[in-house]
Amino acid sequence: MAKRRRNESPERQALREMVNGYLKENPVKNGTNVNALMREMMYVILEGSLDGEMDEELGYSKYDFRNKETDNSRN
């Protein structure tokens, strides 16, 4: 387990360990690798944020078609 940095939350520490594990398995060799990694991270973050925002707005998750308490829907 990695040493915890001062004032670092457990969530941030877990994220740091996950990224370090990924980088050990997939070493970054050049700028193209860095660019591809950053693009993928941004994709995951933005897609997750937008899905969460839609869930909050509509009041049900993406695949929950039975428990809708709204006339509003995903299209």
**Residue 45 confidence (pLDDT):** 94
Q: What is the pLDDT of residues 9-66, one digit of tens each?
A: 999 999 999 999 999 998 999 999 999 999 999 999 999 999 999 888 888 787 776 6
How many distinct structural domains can be found in the chain?
A: 1
Q: Is residue 12 part of a domain?
A: no
Q: Is residue 1 part of a domain?
A: no
Q: Is residue 5 part of a domain?
A: no
Q: Which residues are CB-neighbours of 69 under 8 A, at least 6 positions away?
A: 59, 60
Q: Is residue 55 part of a domain?
A: yes
Task: Please give the residue range of the domain that contains residue 38.
Answer: 31-62
Q: Is residue 35 part of a domain?
A: yes
The burial class, CB within 10 Å (0-12 / 13-18 / 19+), for 55 is middle
Q: Is residue 38 part of a domain?
A: yes
Q: Is residue 41 part of a domain?
A: yes
Full-model pTM? 0.62
Q: Is residue 8 part of a domain?
A: no
